[in-house]
Chain A
Amino acid sequence: MAEPESSTAAAGGSRLRNACGGVLCAFTLLLIGVLAFSIRLFSVIKYESVIHEFDPYFNFRVTQVAKFSKHSIVSGDCLCVHCSNILSKRFLGYLPFNKGEAKGTGAGLMAAAILAMVPSYISRSVAGSYDNEAVAIFALIFTFYLYVKTLNTGSLFYATLNALSYFYMVCSWGGYTFIINLIPIHVLLCIVTGRYSSRLYIAYAPLVILGTLLAALVPVVGFNAVMTSEHFASFLVFIILHVVALVYYIKGLLTPRLFKVAMTLVITVGLTYASKYIPIIASVSEHQPPTWPSYFMDINVLAFLIPAGIISCFLPLSDASSFVVLYLVTAVYFSGVMVRLMLVLAPAACILSGIALSEAFDVLTRSVKYQLSKLFDDSPAASGDSSAESSSAGTVSTNSAKNETRPEKTETAPKEKPSKKNRKKEKEVAESVPVKPKKEKKLLVLPMEASVLGILLLIVLGGFYVVHCVWAAAEAYSAPSIVLTSRSRDGLHVFDDFREAYAWLSHNTDVDDKVASWWDYGYQTTAMANRTVIVDNNTWNNTHIATVGTAMSSPEKAAWEIFNSLDVKYVLVVFGGLVGYPSDDINKFLWMVRIGGGVFPHIKEPDYLRDGNYRVDAQGTPTMLNCLMYKLCYYRFVETDGKGFDRVRGYEIGKKHFKLTHFEEVFTTHHWMVRIYKLKPQKNRVRGKLKKLKSGSKASSTNAAGRKKNPWQ
């Protein structure tokens, strides 16, 4: 934990203080870890130790199969729930080092504290959301940390570690391309701005070779690591780097005659590269862009602190801080393209606002201290060590401007003050020659009242942030999607229908029975009911999904044939009409129609829409009211209240009394949220032709399109 910064002071008296500082630092970090851990436990306290998203069930399943084959499912469960916590904690442990590498311990600690609570990261690493992205972000930050570390030390050892952590990242998340593109951009930036150093070469060149090889080892990536355009950037920069290295080497040997020519060549290559590169980034977009509220929701006040952080990064522009800024800029771009990548932005935002906050506190407390010492007419030696803290004029002005407390008396001179090109040196200077810094310090101090006010405002700002984060952690992101709750006048209602249904499946069906449902419930069925499903959340075969969608959109007989050909025994639908659960299958149904129609053209979306409106009341089209999904959802629904009033859609359903010919209801959960049907055995196929439809005005007009041949026969 002994940060280099804290051990620089040479004086004997300050050694003890440094040791205390180290201990304090460790203690703070521990507290931050506890905070990070506890804030993510909201969901466990509020609900129970369950895994609650759809996707994590897959991960859980994999872990279960790998390690806990038969016994201790409970402990496996707990492990998964807490795994993300432990990881995020570990990750937090590394972050200060990362920051310490670039800026200093104070900023690192501040960033860790902010990151411990940032909602965006909580959303992925909350206890129970056992998601690979939580791991991946840790890997991402760790890779960046090692890169910066290598850049600062120029050690091959760290370069090796860097490649290994990159491998870890490749294993855990497809977002690794972010690393392999961001680092080349940074290298290119360093080269173009003339910051090439041999450390840069050591940091980058082994990473490309080792990283490419390691990535190629991962089966998902395979030869893509050298074949696809995402990775070309790194190779191109690799070549450029070699050219530049050669040029520098020759320049070292020779009089700089060739040098100019070579440099212009390199720059032109670099520029063409950059212009070629932009479409590659743009092509990454595959998810929808986020909305402004989601920015505010996820990073909150950090959004306002980021600019200040950028400014303070630029004051002493080093390789590391330029990397941080670059990381932020690209992360903002990516998160603007794809809401999921907000996750990538969060650490960058935290780092920069950590820098901003700690710089601001630095300046403000220093001026308070100085004013106090002046007040007591003390010797300037008392403030000697605080003067060693570097000046950050940019932050002062930004912060005071933001807090609207900028007094006229504030000298704006410090803009051109000696930037803390390197803190250590300045510190040493300050220790040995106390005259010069004293002079500087006079220019930097703020009036007493202004700085106290500034500190208070910053604390209030931090307080708001904490409140928001706790709220987000407790309310917004801790609600599991598998156990639902609702508050009403008579207390809290818990809807545990999903688990009820899955438990029924696992107890009442044969082990090798197959269950068909829409793909969203695939992982859960696999993990909780332990039954084979037809499609799950990881099904990439579009035809497969389309087949299930087609079956759901077809009339009963055709659907029965499709399901029978798939050897399905049970069909599971999620229905929210009774309790008002909006994300049920009826609301997802149009997607089933679209996906099904995309592969099997006899399913046409307009058949299900009345004048372009999707409805299941009396206005609904006959195709809609006769399709399997409608029937399975609303079978016997009218018996609940006599009218068949759907609380999600807010109207009475179109066809209330009907019988099922090819399916029989075997289980419906307490709140009717999950309904399970069994396919009737083969002999009923003859009866199915009769189509006994008792009521429903338009029910008798069966759609010809639905009667087309089953594509699976």
Chain B
Amino acid sequence: MPRATSDAKLLIQSLGKAYAATPTNLKIIDLYVVFAVATALIQVVYMGIVGSFPFNSFLSGVLSCIGTAVLAVCLRIQVNKDNKEFKDLPPERAFADFVLCNLVLHLVIMNFLG
């Protein structure tokens, strides 16, 4: 199906082009998210190979990665200039919320790590 492949190629190209236009700070956040998700995946793979014996450790590891990713995505949504919904929200406030939420998350995880 050359038509489909060319379509896909076009799609990816336009995707890359569109993404290149995003501001640098958002790109940094994206990198952070990708890193967190990758860490979570590595942990899952490790669990698959070695086993999930200290289950709370595994759980807290994976959930901390996912949680970090989710919070970063939230931050990204809030500081994104294109998002009309959050025009009133200053980026400083968004970042403060992000830090607070992370603090809570990691306090809980430290508690749960066992």
What is the interface of chain A, defined by CB distance below 8 A to chain B?
154-157, 159-160, 163-164, 197-199, 201-202, 205-206, 209-210, 212-214, 216-217, 223, 226, 245, 250, 252-255, 257-258
Task: Point out the residue from B11, B63, B100, B109 that lies within 8 Å of A156, measured CB to CB.
Answer: B100
In the complex, whether B56 has a CB less than 8 A from a CB of chain A is: yes
With contacts A210-B104, A216-B56, A223-B55 known, is A154 near B67, CB below 8 A? no
Known A-B contacts A157-B100, A160-B97, A198-B77; A213 and B63 likewise in contact (beta carbons under 8 Å): yes
* Cβ contacts A to B, 16 pairs, < 8 Å: A154-B85, A154-B89, A156-B98, A156-B100, A159-B101, A160-B100, A160-B101, A163-B104, A201-B74, A202-B78, A206-B67, A206-B71, A209-B63, A214-B108, A217-B111, A253-B19
- Which one of B59, B73, B100 lies within 8 Å of A201 (CB-CB)? B73
B14 to chain A minimum Cβ distance, whole angstroms, is 6
Contacts of B44 in A (CB 8 A): none
List residues of chain B with CB within 8 A of the CB of A199.
85
Q: Which residues of B contact A250 (CB under 8 A)?
A: 15
Identity of the chain B residue whose Cβ is nearest the Cβ of A198 in the assembled complex: B77
Question: Which residues of B come within 8 Å of A, CB atoms?
Answer: 11, 14-15, 18-19, 55-56, 59-60, 63, 66-67, 70-71, 73-75, 77-78, 82-83, 85-86, 89, 94, 96-98, 100-101, 104-105, 108-109, 111-112
B75 nearest in chain A by CB position? A156
A216 lies within 8 A of B74 (CB): no
Pick the 3 closest A-B CB pairs, nearest first. Answer: A156-B97, A209-B67, A253-B18
- Specify which of A197, A212, A223, A254 is in contact with B18 (CB 8 Å cutoff): A254
Complex CA–CA separation, A357 to B86 (angstroms): 34
From the candidates B11, B77, B78, B105, name the one contacting A254 in the complex (CB within 8 A): B11
Measured CA separation A323–B9 after assembly (Å): 42
Apart from the given pairs A198-B85, A206-B74, A213-B105, 14 other A-B contacts in the complex at a CB distance below 8 Å: A154-B85, A155-B89, A156-B74, A156-B75, A156-B78, A157-B96, A157-B97, A199-B85, A201-B74, A209-B67, A210-B67, A216-B56, A216-B59, A223-B56
Is there contact, CB below 8 Å, between A209 and B105? Answer: yes
Chain A residues with CB under 8 Å of B71's CB are 156, 206
**Who on chain B is nearest to A250 by CB?**
B15
**Bound-complex Cα distance A630 to B98 (A):** 67
Q: How far is the CB of A603 from chain B (nearest CB, A)?
A: 41
**Chain A positions within 8 Å of B73 at CB level:** 201, 205, 245
Which residues of B have CB within 8 Å of A216? Answer: 56, 59, 112
In the complex, A163 Cα to B75 Cα: how many Å?
17
Assess A253 versus B67: contact at CB under 8 Å? Given A154-B85, A209-B105, A217-B111.
no
- State whether A217 touches B98 (Cβ < 8 A): no
Known interface pairs A156-B75, A205-B74. Does A258 touch B67 (Cβ–Cβ under 8 Å)?
no
Bound-state Cα–Cα, A182 to B19, Å: 36
**CB-based contact A213/B108 at 8 Å:** yes
B105→A210 contact, CB < 8 A: yes
Q: Are B15 and A155 in contact (CB under 8 A)?
A: no
Smallest Cβ distance from B37 to chain A, in angstroms?
A: 10
CB distance from B114 to the nearest CB of A (A): 10
